[in-house]
Structure 1
Amino acid sequence: MPENTRTALRRSTLLTMCASVLVAQSMVAAINLMIPQLAASALHPSPSALLWTVDAYVIVFAGLLIPAGALGDRWGRRRALLAGLALFAAGACLSAGGGTLGSVAALVAGRAVSGAGAALVMPATMAVLVHLAGPERRVQAVASWTLAVGLGGLAGNVGGGLTAQYLPWQALFWAMAPLAAVLAAAVLRTVPDLPRHATPADPVGSALLIGGTGAVLYGIIEGPSHGWWSAPVLTGFAAGAVLLALFTGHGLRARRPLVDPRVFRSRRLRAAAVGTAASFFGLFALFFVNSQFLQYAKGYSPARTGLAIVPLTVGMALVPRLAARLQDRHGVRLAAGGGLALIGGGLLGVSTAGPATPYPVYALWLLVLSAGMGLCAPGLTHTVVSELPGHQAGLGAGLNTAARELGAALGVAVVGTVLASHAGGGSPHGPAEFTAGMAAGLRVVAVPVLLAAVAVTLGLRGRPAGAGPAAVPRPVADRSAS
């Protein structure tokens, strides 16, 4: 669409998109603080059912992101967003209703349906912002979207903690339906009906990608509990490898593939995707042990635990403005590499904490990590999206969010495995044992984050910010449509 016909990005639209992102992302983390309540509830879920209550949302969410982004490009971003909010609310109602009626299967199924809704919401919101902001405001719009993703994780922890402390666990799910309805009304009021694009449907490629991604995520998520060499985990990884290899071969041969694998020849795209995954690898490793440390080692209540991680919001809220200025002046390398280095340093700092560590010291390390996220995330997200053609903004947003979710799942798996190894394969039996396992796990996680800082700094060398997409091979769909 020519710039002179582009609808301007209004503040109300920006706020609606960011609120939708925050709500969808919050449900990734909120359920974790509800696990003790669920385990003691009348449902009497088995350990496996508890795992699937957490994992069903993540696996479906991450597995559908790229196809859902392409669907939004083809079907219309506003339609995709409204459909996603409807699915999100329906799934929440199914989870709450099923839990009230004593059906664990309905609880898990509802989480999966909500995950499918979130997969439509995330790329559609990004695509709306990219389209309406235009080149001149795109960096700032992406920074706001990225901030909403980070705040969503924190809102989930705070909301889950408060619910666990004061309300029945079903209240968390019942609250989502009216919230989604309010957001849908705001979408209808603030988001114009944007142009659609003839992106490929590619049902074969979509099925292969969904199956492969889901199988790999299953292996990552179940590895710490089942054992990395167990049959279910190895089967998941093997199935994922085969399906993703078939997906790559299909993409290279098909006339109009969902994703042309040749786009990954772009060094900048690869670097930004790796940096995005690494940042959430570190952040969610911290999320996994943070609430346990504050409750188990420090003796905090669930509500106080949720509030104690609020310092993580400070850097994410304030630093993106600095990151945008740095990117305009010096390009994305400095902000991206420096931000990842701060995340790694923050993880090393948190690893020194123990039961006797004063909370202000602990909060300081949370601020360091938060500043790193605020510094690197906007530029990395903008780079992934800008390396694809404008009409594939939804697909680019799906790719970016899939990298986030894969990194998050890996971070939880790695730190969980190290934590379990310090307890002989079980749960730590005391605060000192837990703290030792947490310290080792966070140090293990910090190493690849710091290595990623170097790799991303090298990978993003070249064109300055605003220079436009790299000269990467155009997807087959673009060639056939021209």
Structure 2
Amino acid sequence: MRHALHGTAEPSRRSSGRRGLTAAMCLSVTLVVGMVSAVNLAIPEISADPVRPSATAVVWVVDGYLLTFACLLLPAGALADRLGRKGVLLVGLGLFTLGNLVCAAAPHVGVLIAGRALSGAGAAAVLPTTLALLVHERTGAERSRAVAVWASMTGLAAVLGNVGGGAALELGSWRALFLAVTPLACGALLLVAALAPAVPRTPRPVSWPGAVLLTGAVAALLYAVVSGPQQGWGSAPVLCAFAAAAFLGPAWAGSELRARHPLLDPALLTSSRVLAAAAGMALLFTGMFGLFLLNGQYLQYVQGTGPLGAGVRLLPMAAALLAGPRCGLLLRRVLGDGATAAGGMLVLAAGLAVVSRIDPHTPYALYACGAVLTALGCGIATPVFSETMVSALPGERAGAGSGLQSLTRELGSAFGIAVTGSLVTAGFTARLPARLTGEPVPTTVPAARARATEAGAGEALDPGILAAFTGAVHTATLVLAAGIALAALPVGRGVRHREG
């Protein structure tokens, strides 16, 4: 009898421990992903700061975090496999917390960008290790459910970041946003220390040449995309950055293929199925975070809501992000991976196309419909791409495998923000009323309004300023929607293909 009781208690304790671990991993993911969208809501306030940062500087406040996040994901995943996933996760949460404190105390925008970069370095250690710890010793349907939960939280975190960030901004300045996340990060540290398992290490050295080349390639390309509208696409710095990216990207791929212990297994770089999943993931998050960049600005500038009101109005996206992975699991059973992935991308593209129809008089319900479709499509397709990449490597290399899928997510997020920001800046300045186009040309709505006030025509020119902004949003979201829709079927066919 005692043995029988012991036998039933053991699975119960294991199940309870796994639920606790899932909660700790989900909180960690929510913090590092949520801070991207939370800062997007702060863009209007940061743009109106007395130092008057340029549109490029404001984009770097967001992309400085994502750049270091994306570039360090693969080295962080490899380090986690080698040094221990639990320890690397704890260090990552510590760096994330410290970076946010630097941001809160930043005396000017340069220090703010540096603090965001430090937080991004911590986030790079958090994201791949959470997924690797979550799938440890889980197989089959249990593993698929764990990946689906993790994937839904990565999307849901962006919406929760909007609500939490909006509340912090409503109660204080943009500095309060960075202070508010500190106690939550400390709580995550304690939970991870208590609940995360000590997974056996893998004695593989880290390919630092590959890490350096990858970081340089991504940094150069992002610099070119973000700086192009301000400095001119034909300017020497932008052309040099594009050239550096074109050289460093292939150099990184060649280095990985030749290295004895690469960051990525060469089999991943030559697998058409994995490459299709990586491309699909990057495109999903290009569209998703392009929209997140615009959400707070549209709702605050055009709809006239405060930061908290903007966050609350994005809550329908949370329901879609929660429902999406569950819908995706059902669709995979009926249609298979390829059709589910392509369908999710097409739903996301349809949502962006709906958002592209906005103008200063668009009702909130129509905008919400587009935002919900965008989130639903992301939620449907993300688990397919995540599991394809994570399952491509054996369990002892799960940190590197999850690092790959996290890398493509964050690269997509960074490029979505950079490309959308560039398109909106270019479209906004081109559409501004003639009275506001003197040098230097205002590149944000607050800057244009300040220029109009200085000219003594604030209220008279405001409709023209808002029309310029929504016209720029129209172009940017249509470009994103078209690119994702065109790629959906090729990506779906690639994910469906089973290599022998």
CA distance in 2, matches of 1:218, 1:296: 27
Determine helix, strand or coil for the equivalent of 1:10.
helix
Pair 1:449 & 2:471 matched: no
User: What is residue 195 of structure 1 aligned with on the other side?
Assistant: 200
Q: 1:64 aligns with which of 60, 72, 94?
A: 72
Q: Structure 1 residues 50 and 294, CA, compared in 2 at 3 Å: closer, same or farther? A: closer
Q: How does 1:461-472 map to 2 (within 5 A)?
A: 461-463=496-498
Pair 1:430 & 2:430 matched: no
Q: Report how far residue 92 of structure 1 moved.
A: 1.3
Whether the 8 Å CA contact 1:199–1:392 is kept in 2: the answer is no
Q: 2:382 aligns with which of 377, 380, 387?
A: 377
CA RMSD of aligned residues (A): 2.4
User: What is residue 28 of structure 1 aligned with on the other side?
Assistant: 36
**Gap runs ≥5 in structure 2:** 1-9, 431-442, 446-463
CA distance in 1, matches of 2:226, 2:124: 18
CA distance in 1, matches of 2:108, 2:327: 49
Q: 1:10 aligns with which of 12, 18, 22?
A: 18
CA distance in 2, matches of 1:352, 1:50: 25
Pair 1:230 & 2:235 matched: yes
Q: Structure 1 residues 177 and 164, CA, compared in 2 at 3 Å: closer, same or farther? A: closer
Deviations 1:321-366 (A, max 9, x none): 2212332454311221111110011111121233333322322222
User: What is residue 117 of structure 2 aligned with on the other side?
Assistant: 112
Determine helix, strand or coil for the equivalent of 1:86.
helix
CA distance in 1, matches of 2:289, 2:128: 20
**Gap runs ≥5 in structure 1:** 464-469, 472-482
Pair 1:257 & 2:262 matched: yes
CA distance in 2, matches of 1:366, 1:82: 34
User: What is residue 334 of structure 1 aligned with on the other side?
Assistant: 339
CA distance in 2, matches of 1:225, 1:310: 34
User: What is residue 439 of structure 2 aligned with on the other side?
Assistant: none
Q: Report how far residue 283 of structure 1 moved.
A: 0.9
Determine helix, strand or coil for the equivalent of 2:72.
helix
Letter in 1 for 2:470: T
CA distance in 2, matches of 1:444, 1:411: 11
Q: 1:314 aligns with which of 311, 319, 325?
A: 319
Structure 1, 296-305 or 48-57: larger mean CA deviation: 48-57
Determine helix, strand or coil for the equivalent of 1:175.
helix
Whether the 8 Å CA contact 2:229–2:426 is kept in 1: the answer is no
Number of residue pairs aligned between Structure 1 and Structure 2: 458
Whether the 8 Å CA contact 1:295–1:305 is kept in 2: the answer is yes
Pair 1:404 & 2:409 matched: yes
User: What is residue 245 of structure 1 aligned with on the other side?
Assistant: 250
User: What is residue 76 of structure 1 aligned with on the other side?
Assistant: 84
Deviations 1:437-479 (A, max 9, x none): 212221111111111211122112234xxxxxx55xxxxxxxx
Q: Report how far residue 219 of structure 1 moved.
A: 2.2
Whether the 8 Å CA contact 1:336–1:376 is kept in 2: the answer is yes
Q: Report how far residue 234 of structure 1 moved.
A: 2.2
Letter in 2 for 1:451: L
Determine helix, strand or coil for the equivalent of 1:68.
helix
Determine helix, strand or coil for the equivalent of 2:237.
helix
Q: Based on CA coordinates, which of the two structures has the bigger radius of gyration? A: 2
User: What is residue 92 of structure 1 aligned with on the other side?
Assistant: 100
Q: Structure 1 residues 292 and 334, CA, compared in 2 at 3 Å: closer, same or farther? A: same
Whether the 8 Å CA contact 1:279–1:407 is kept in 2: the answer is yes
Q: Report how far residue 235 of structure 1 moved.
A: 2.2
Determine helix, strand or coil for the equivalent of 1:355.
coil
Q: Structure 1 residues 324 and 303, CA, compared in 2 at 3 Å: closer, same or farther? A: same
Q: Report how far residue 184 of structure 1 moved.
A: 1.0
CA distance in 2, matches of 1:108, 1:423: 24
Whether the 8 Å CA contact 1:76–1:194 is kept in 2: the answer is yes
Determine helix, strand or coil for the equivalent of 2:358.
coil
Q: Report how far residue 86 of structure 1 moved.
A: 0.6
Determine helix, strand or coil for the equivalent of 2:138.
helix
User: What is residue 478 of structure 1 aligned with on the other side?
Assistant: none
Determine helix, strand or coil for the equivalent of 2:428.
coil
Determine helix, strand or coil for the equivalent of 1:434.
helix
Letter in 2 for 1:226: Q
Pair 1:304 & 2:339 matched: no
Q: 1:344 aligns with which of 341, 349, 365?
A: 349
Q: Structure 1 residues 325 and 435, CA, compared in 2 at 3 Å: closer, same or farther? A: same
User: Structure 1 stretches (4+) deviating beyond 6 angstroms?
Assistant: none
CA distance in 2, matches of 1:361, 1:261: 46
Q: Report how far residue 409 of structure 1 moved.
A: 2.5
Whether the 8 Å CA contact 2:56–2:227 is kept in 1: the answer is no
Q: 1:205 aligns with which of 181, 206, 210?
A: 210
Whether the 8 Å CA contact 1:221–1:409 is kept in 2: the answer is no
CA distance in 2, matches of 1:124, 1:345: 33
CA distance in 1, matches of 2:89, 2:228: 33
Q: Report how far residue 199 of structure 1 moved.
A: 2.8
Q: Structure 1 residues 353 and 21, CA, compared in 2 at 3 Å: closer, same or farther? A: same
Q: 2:147 aligns with which of 122, 142, 162?
A: 142
Structure 1, 429-438 or 43-52: larger mean CA deviation: 43-52
Q: Report how far residue 297 of structure 1 moved.
A: 2.1
Letter in 1 for 2:332: Q
Determine helix, strand or coil for the equivalent of 1:422.
helix
Q: Report how far residue 208 of structure 1 moved.
A: 1.8
Q: Structure 1 residues 129 and 328, CA, compared in 2 at 3 Å: closer, same or farther? A: farther
Q: 2:136 aligns with which of 126, 131, 139?
A: 131
Whether the 8 Å CA contact 1:423–1:433 is kept in 2: the answer is yes
Q: How does 1:261-280 map to 2 (within 5 A)?
A: 261-280=266-285
Whether the 8 Å CA contact 1:224–1:413 is kept in 2: the answer is no
Q: Report how far residue 301 of structure 1 moved.
A: 2.1
User: What is residue 466 of structure 1 aligned with on the other side?
Assistant: none
Q: Structure 1 residues 372 and 55, CA, compared in 2 at 3 Å: closer, same or farther? A: closer
Q: Structure 1 residues 432 and 38, CA, compared in 2 at 3 Å: closer, same or farther? A: closer
CA distance in 2, matches of 1:444, 1:45: 27
